[in-house]
Amino acid sequence: MALGLLLSIAAAVLVALAHQLPEAMRPDRDAPRSYLIANASLLDPATDRVQTDGHVLVVDGRIERVGTGALPARPDGVELIDAGGRVLMPGLIDVHVHVFDETDLAAGLARGVTTVRNMGGFPFHLPLASRIERGEILGPRLLTTGPILNEVGGRNGNALHEAVDGAEEARASVRRQYAAGFRHLKLYSNLSRESFAAIRDEAAGLGMTMSGHPVEGTEADPVDFAASLDAGFRTLEHTESIVWYALNDEMDPAGVRQLAEQIAASGTMIDPTLVVHENLARIVETGGAHITRPVMASYNPVIAGFEQDNFEFWAQYPHDDRTRMQAFYVEVTGALHEAGVPLTVGTDSGVMVTPHGVSTVREMEILVDAGLTPMEAIRAATLNGAQALGLEGEVGCLAPGCAADLILLNGDPAQDIARLYEIEAVMRDGRWLDRDALAALEEAGHHPSTLRTWWRLGQHTRAIG
């Protein structure tokens, strides 16, 4: 009896803690969500143009009018914002993050990331997404896959994966995730041929979407790379994983061209996530100093603790192959783009010393290094991301009917992608966040809760049990 009472009290304390957020993440429910933004340079990724003397009318969190020249009549209750000629564009979409605490969302929004897809669902993610949608928490729009599906005994498995052993368990896991409310699946590398087929079949029957790594199968029964291209993935993740499995890490120009053409012909959208391997390479190059760079202030210490052995391994790694492979991954991504493969912007933020927010912009810089123009990188982070998430016409756009998720910049990123670091303000769901509000969100991102994180990890391991 006493033990039960103590456990109930502890659970109540943890529930209360989950709702105890930094003040910067608590939106003012009485603040306006209707604005006329005037004197803006409008960067529309759908037209590849930046138009000066522009204006955007936002009513109740949604764009109602976009134009240039003379301002429209301002309805009652609509506040006027003078953009001062600055660049106004859609907010950024990061299609591959790992959210372990609400403060991860604060760090992202502070850097202009207004929509994210979490790629490894825990029980808390769906309720959190609903609270954001209701306006109870200030953060990027949150979508999530279910728990990562992998095979029992898989080469790259870990304790956070939902491990299945054959087709029957795979079907049961998909049904369990559906019953829990998840509608998107993430598949990992080591699923067996039977499990992969069962997941595809069950997902199709339930109307669930899939994304993930190229599925390799088992050592005894490898699955051809083409099977992942035929699976109907919303996004195939990681240039690094694609190079590993499809090219066996071989730096063969003819093989790269053939692979790029194969992927382009399939119509599969690729999420390169170049920044996460760049961070691994930087750990090697700096002997570990990269782990403690200033932007790591927002990195979750619980996750860093889990990764400590990995950090130490790479900090002491004596070879230079990671630097060479990073350059090759960038080259392959450029070849994919040249072949017409649609690319998105994803980062793996939250793991492998890749902090939220700032890494999204860094990923876009690397895409430009790969050969995309700055405007093409912007499209990858807006229109392509929206398509990958099934949110075309809702996010990543600057047109009537789109959600009012916008960023105001002090320079033109279509000329220099690094100007995305120079954020003056962000609008999220019609809420205007000026420099002070963004600074407060950035500071909130520096204080992830270790207790909340441990609790969520415990909930997750019980759920996938």
Residue 8 has pLDDT above 50, yes or no: no
| pLDDT value of position 290 | 98
Tokens, residue 50: 């930046």
The strand ranges marked E within 110-239 are 113-118, 141-144, 149-151, 162-164, 184-187, 209-212, 236-237
Residue 382, CB half-sphere, CA atoms under 13 Å: how many?
A: 26
Whether this prediction's pTM lies above 0.85 is answered by yes
What's the pLDDT tens digit per position in 161-177? 999 999 999 999 999 99
pLDDT of residue 51: 97
Question: Which element (helix H / strand E) includes 270?
Answer: strand 270-271
Q: Is pLDDT above 70 for 314?
A: yes
* Residue bearing tokens 């930087």: 282
Encoded tokens for 448: 């992830």
Task: Classify residue 228 as exposed, middle or buried by CB count within 10 Å of its CB (0-12, 13-18, 19+).
Answer: buried
Residue 63 to residue 178: CA distance in whole angstroms: 33
Please tell me the predicted confidence (pLDDT) of residue 465.
85
- Domain 92-392 is of which CATH architecture? Alpha-Beta Barrel (3.20)
Q: Report whether pLDDT(1) > 80.
A: no
Does 12 have pLDDT greater than 60?
Answer: no
Residue 13: per-residue pLDDT? 55
Q: What distance in Å separates the CA atoms of residue 383 and residue 69, rounded to the nearest whole number?
A: 26
* Paired sense of beta strands 113-118 and 92-97, if any: parallel
- In order of 141, 264, 344, 397, the CA distances from 409 in angstroms are 20, 34, 21, 16
Give the residue extent of every domain in the chain.
92-392
Phi, psi of 53 (to 5 degrees): 55, 40
DSSP string, 16-85: HHHT---GGGS--TTS---EEEEEEEEEETTTTEEEEEEEEEEETTEEEEEEESSPPP--TTPEEEE-TT
Residue 210 has pLDDT above 60, yes or no: yes
Instruction: Say how far apart CA 295 and CA 446 lie, in whole Å.
Output: 9
Residue 365 has pLDDT above 80, yes or no: yes
CA distances from 291 to 279, 280, 346 (A): 9, 9, 20
pLDDT digits (tens, 9 = 90+) for 24-49: 999 998 899 999 999 999 999 999 99
Contact at 8 Å (CB) between 384 and 33? no
